[in-house]
Amino acid sequence: MKKLYNTVDRKLLREKYLNNDEKRITISFYKYHQIKNPAFFRDYLFIHWTDLHVLGRTYVSSEGINAQISIPEANKEAFIKDLYSVTFLDGVRINYAVDSGNKSFFQLKIKLRKKIVADGIEDPTFNPANTGKHLDALEFNQLTSDPETILIDMRNHYESEVGHFIGAIRPDADTFRDEIAVVEKMLKGQEDKNIVMYCTGGIRCEKASAYLKHKGYDHVHQLEGGIIKYARDVKEQGLENRFKGVNFVFDERLAERVSDDVIACCHQCGEPFDLHTNCANTGCHILFIQCDSCKEKFENCCSTECQEIIHLPEETQRELRKGKSSKANTFHKGRSEKLPFKRPS
C-alpha cells in the first residue's frame, strides 16, 4: 500500500532538487467549496500528485483547498488534466509564478485544516461566496489611480514591508485574523467609498471582501489573482506597474521581484535590502531581512547570541532546543528586540 505522506528526510530532498536540472513550474490556486470528506480528498490528491512528481504545500478543509506547489514542466498538461477532472476544480484559475525554477519546494505536504485561511470569523450568517468585484490589472490601475479610492494591503506586516502598491494602506498586523478586525474598525463610516483589496494570490481577499460586503460595504473590489497574476499581466500587456519592490512568497524562494525598487532595509545594519532569510540557529529560525554583508558577518544568524550557538556541539544545540519548535518561526509573525531595524514588539 502506498504511504500517504512523505517519508524522506527534507534535507536529502532539498539537496536532490537543488542538484537536479529538471525544469519545474511553480503555481498556486485556491477554491472555496464545501468538501464533504476532506480527509478522503486529501488522500486522493496525495496519491495522484505523487505520481505526477508534484512538490509543495497544500491545505484542504471542509471549506475548500489552497495550494502552492511546483510541477515538472513535462507533466504540466497531465497535471492540469488531472486537476480539472475534479468537478469543483474544473477551470479553476492557476497562478503561475513570475520567477519559477526548481527551488521553490522540495517535498509534498498536503495537510488537513479547519479552514484554508484562518480568519477568526464565527458568524454563521456570513457567506464567503458573496465576494467583492474582481478587477484585472488594467481595471485595478484605473480605480486605484483615483485619490478617493481606498486601497488596502491584506497581507501581514513583513510581507508589505518589502513590497506594496503605490498609495496602499498597510495595517500593522501580524496575522490575517488580526488584520480583518483592524480593517473593519479603520473603515467604519466609509461605507460609500470604493474599496480595493489585494494580497499575494487572491485567497485572503476572497474572504476579506466578502466579509466587508457582509458588514454593509457595497463598493468592495479585489485584485483578481493577487500580486502574482498582476505582475505577469502588467509585463505581458505593457501596463504601468504600480507595485514597488518584491512580492513575498511562502516557499523556499521567499520573494519574487516585481520591480527594481528596494523599499526595505537590512534589519541588522539599516542598509537598503529587501530579501528575507531565516536565522541559521535552528532553535531560533526567525524570519528577517539580512543583507549580504551582515550575512557574512553574522554567518546567517539574527544576532551574536545565535551566532555563538551554531558553533556549539550539535548535542548541546539539541539540548537548548528541547521543548521549542522552530517550524512556527519559519514565517514568524513576531517582532525581535535583537534586530535594531526590525519593528519591535
- Using one digit for the tens of pLDDT, what is the confidence trace for 154-211? 999 999 999 999 999 999 888 899 999 999 999 998 989 999 999 999 999 999 999 9
d(CA 84, CA 66): 15
- The candidate with the shortest Cα–Cα distance to 57, out of 72, 66, 48, 40, is 66
For the entire predicted model, the pTM comes to 0.87
Indicate the domain borders of the chain. 10-112
Catalytic residue among 199, 291, 294, 302: 199
d(CA 343, CA 336): 7
Predicted pLDDT of residue 18: 64
Predicted pLDDT of residue 64: 94
d(CA 285, CA 287): 7
Q: What is the maximum alpha-carbon separation in the chain?
A: 62
d(CA 56, CA 45): 12
Question: Which residue has cell 554567518?
Answer: 299
Predicted pLDDT of residue 1: 45
Instruction: Measure CA 277 to chain center.
Output: 15
- The candidate with the shortest Cα–Cα distance to 2, out of 37, 46, 39, 38, is 46
| 199 φ/ψ angles, rounded to the nearest 5 degrees | -150, -165
Q: For residue 266, indicate whether it is catalytic.
A: no
Predicted pLDDT of residue 118: 86
Helices (H), 134-215: 137-144, 157-162, 176-186, 203-214
CATH of domain 10-112: 3.30.70.100
- Using one digit for the tens of pLDDT, what is the confidence trace for 257-279? 999 999 999 999 999 999 999 99
Q: Are 175 and 157 in contact (CB under 8 A)?
A: no
Question: In 224-330, which ranges are E strands?
Answer: 243-248, 255-257, 276-278, 287-289
Predicted pLDDT of residue 2: 54
- Residue stretches of the chain with pLDDT short of 50: 1, 345
For residue 319, what are the CA distances in angstroms to 198, 252, 282, 303?
Answer: 43, 27, 12, 20
Q: Are 59 and 66 in contact (CB under 8 A)?
A: yes
For residue 147, what are the CA distances in angstroms to 168, 221, 274, 339?
Answer: 11, 15, 28, 36
- Using one digit for the tens of pLDDT, what is the confidence trace for 67-76? 999 999 999 9
